[in-house]
């Protein structure tokens, strides 16, 4: 892997927004649509005035913007950026740091206090045909150094130590592209990957062992596009091109034993490979929520948020609403609400929740961002606002919130990275 420090890789990004443009944009581009009359000279006939008085006009409720535009940069490869994610494991006082993936690059940026984005590091894969699709942050428990995992087209899972710039690891096991990676919420060394080969794999990045493979008999029948751990890390939900959502457990006795053994197993001493668990049977599976590719799923407490390329995000619960635990082989689902938007019928577009799960953000294929306020008196009908910028016109592949929720980042198909800052209403 090639590595460029800030000074060496500075030509990989460029800021295209001038201060004068910024001033104009702040006034006009933070909100969605408004209704205006298209009269050319501002005058009306007496008849038209009377007609207008009689007709009842529907009042469109326009929400005030939650975020305002700060800046954007463009990576010099000009290809699609498929993923972005903030590092939530920073020490107090450190500036927010996030990573983007696209082309054969994994790039790390820092958000400055003045609203700018600064390039910190850039990794370029030696294979120019590689395309990174996804990334995830964790940390080394012993040193506290941040760890960054990334995967993509070649199916090779890479883990970088971004502080020491040494000891980069890679894992080969998937038979096809890796669509999403994520670290376990409780075990910083456990890394999960979802692949085009219809399976998910659980890795121990401390001992470089593949702990388990999820797929097979009752697994996904097509690409696995997304997954998410619940807050306790005892289960995860996966989804894919087969229109299905499947829930798997990590707290079964065989799985807990395999995870525990993965920390002490020594392949050199045992003269054999680690006995990876092959899990063929999810505890829950449904195809009743969506009728097309399911390309993003996230837990929100005991509820699930899932998205398909049908202009809706569905909030639902496995089983019945009153059930405390999901029964094995449960077939019932309870839909809580649906969040509707427009112009997002392409797949591999992922939404994000902030750390406290108060906001949900999703970009569409025309460069607009929808933000739902989930922490409301009526969570079934959350308030929604829209962000847009006149220069952001290509599909937004993913959004990401900083840990504080004050910064929103989105990445686009034209290689641009956009920063929006929360408006302080105080």
Report, as an integer, the average pLDDT of 7-33.
Answer: 40
Residue 30's pLDDT band, with cuts at 50, 70 and 90, is very low
Check pLDDT > 80 for residue 235: yes
- For residue 124, how many other CB atoms are within 10 A of its CB? 19
pLDDT score at 24: 40
Give yes or no for a contact between 213 and 203, defined as CB atoms under 8 angstroms apart.
no
pLDDT score at 39: 34
**Cα–chain-centroid distance for residue 168?**
24
pLDDT score at 82: 98
What DSSP state is assigned to residue 104? T
Check pLDDT > 70 for residue 34: no
Report, as an integer, the average pLDDT of 260-266.
Answer: 93
Check pLDDT > 90 for residue 17: no
What DSSP state is assigned to residue 12? G
Q: What percent of the chain has pLDDT over 70?
A: 85
Report, as an integer, the average pLDDT of 8-33.
Answer: 40
| Residue 269 vs residue 31, higher pLDDT | 269
pLDDT in tens, 102-111: 999 999 999 9
Residues 240, 241, 245, 249, CA torsion sign: negative
Residue 95's pLDDT band, with cuts at 50, 70 and 90, is very high
Residue 155 in tokens: 């199916």
Task: Give the Cα separation of 359 and 61 in Å (integer).
Answer: 19
What DSSP state is assigned to residue 350? B
Which residues is 284 bridged to in the sheet? 247, 330
pLDDT score at 62: 52
Check pLDDT > 70 for residue 5: no
Smallest Cα–Cα separation from 73: which of 371, 410, 388? 410
Smallest Cα–Cα separation from 213: which of 203, 204, 205, 221? 203
Report, as an integer, the average pLDDT of 254-277.
Answer: 90
Which residues is 89 bridged to in the sheet? none
Task: Give the Cα separation of 397 and 365 in Å (integer).
Answer: 8
Residue 167's pLDDT band, with cuts at 50, 70 and 90, is low
Burial class of residue 74 (count of CB atoms within 10 Å of its CB; 0-12, 13-18, 19+): middle
Residue 282's pLDDT band, with cuts at 50, 70 and 90, is very high
pLDDT score at 425: 66
Check pLDDT > 90 for residue 155: yes
Check pLDDT > 60 for residue 37: no
Residue 91's pLDDT band, with cuts at 50, 70 and 90, is confident
pLDDT in tens, 110-134: 999 999 999 999 999 999 999 999 9
Report, as an integer, the average pLDDT of 233-237.
Answer: 97
Range name among 152-161, 212-221, 323-332, 409-418 with the lowest pLDDT average: 323-332
**Cα–Cα distances in angstroms (integers) from residue 101 to residues 110, 150, 339, 421, in the given order:** 15, 8, 27, 21
Residue 325's pLDDT band, with cuts at 50, 70 and 90, is confident
- For residue 393, how many other CB atoms are within 10 A of its CB? 15
Task: Give the Cα separation of 309 and 292 in Å (integer).
Answer: 7
| Residue 43 vs residue 206, higher pLDDT | 206
For domain 67-422, the CATH class is mainly beta
pLDDT score at 25: 39
pLDDT score at 179: 98
- The torsion defined by the Cα of 74, 77, 78 and 82, in degrees rounded to 10, comes to -90
What DSSP state is assigned to residue 57? P
19-23, 55-59, 83-87 — which one is most confidently predicted on average?
83-87
Q: Is the pTM of this model over 0.75?
A: yes
Q: At 23, which helix (H) or strand (E)? A: helix 19-28
pLDDT score at 48: 43
Report, as an integer, the average pLDDT of 176-183.
Answer: 98
Check pLDDT > 70 for residue 32: no
Residue 41 in tokens: 């000279």
Report, as an integer, the average pLDDT of 280-303.
Answer: 96
Task: Give the Cα separation of 277 and 186 in Å (integer).
Answer: 20
Q: Residue 333 region, left (φ>0) first, then alpha (ψ -120 to 50), else beta? A: beta
């Amino acid at each position: 892997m090639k590595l460029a420090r800030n000074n060496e890789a500075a030509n990989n990004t460029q800021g295209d927004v001038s201060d004068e443009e910024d001033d104009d944009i702040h006034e006009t581009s933070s909100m969605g649509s408004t209704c205006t009359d298209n009269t050319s000279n501002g005058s009306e006939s007496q008849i038209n005035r009377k007609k207008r008085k009689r007709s009842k006009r529907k009042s469109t409720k326009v929400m005030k913007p939650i975020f305002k535009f700060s800046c954007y940069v463009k990576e010099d490869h000009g290809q699609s950026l498929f993923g972005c994610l903030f590092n939530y494991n920073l020490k107090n006082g450190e500036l927010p740091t996030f990573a983007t993936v696209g082309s054969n690059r994994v790039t790390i940026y820092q958000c400055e206090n003045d609203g700018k984005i600064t390039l910190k590091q850039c990794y370029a894969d030696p294979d120019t045909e590689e395309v990174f699709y996804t990334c995830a942050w964790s940390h080394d428990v012993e040193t506290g150094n941040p760890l960054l995992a990334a995967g993509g087209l070649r199916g090779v899972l890479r883990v970088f130590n971004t502080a020491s710039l040494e000891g980069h690891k890679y894992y080969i096991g998937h038979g096809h592209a890796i669509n999403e990676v994520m670290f376990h919420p409780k075990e910083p060394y456990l890394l999960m990957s979802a692949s085009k080969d219809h399976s998910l794999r659980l890795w121990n990045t401390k001992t470089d062992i593949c702990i388990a493979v999820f797929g097979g008999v009752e697994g996904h029948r097509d690409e696995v596009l997304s997954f998410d751990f619940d807050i306790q890390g005892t289960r995860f939900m996966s989804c894919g091109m087969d229109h299905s959502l499947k829930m798997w457990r990590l707290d079964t006795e065989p799985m807990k034993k395999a995870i525990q053994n993965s920390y002490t197993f020594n392949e050199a001493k045992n003269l054999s490979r680690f006995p990876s668990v092959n899990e063929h049977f999810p505890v829950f599976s449904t195809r009743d929520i969506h009728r097309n590719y399911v390309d993003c799923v996230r837990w929100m407490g005991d509820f699930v948020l899932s998205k398909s390329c049908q202009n809706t995000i569905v909030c639902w619960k496995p089983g019945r609403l009153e059930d405390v635990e999901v029964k094995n082989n449960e077939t019932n689902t309870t839909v809580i609400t649906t969040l509707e938007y427009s112009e997002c019928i392409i797949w591999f577009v992922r939404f994000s929740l902030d750390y406290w799960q108060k906001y949900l953000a999703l970009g569409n294929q025309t460069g607009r961002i929808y933000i739902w306020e989930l922490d409301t008196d009526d969570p079934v009908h959350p308030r929604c606002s829209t962000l847009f910028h006149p220069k952001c016109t290509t599909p937004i592949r993913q959004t990401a919130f900083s840990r504080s929720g004050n910064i929103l980042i989105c990445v686009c198909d034209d290689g641009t990275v956009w920063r929006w800052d929360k408006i302080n209403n105080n």
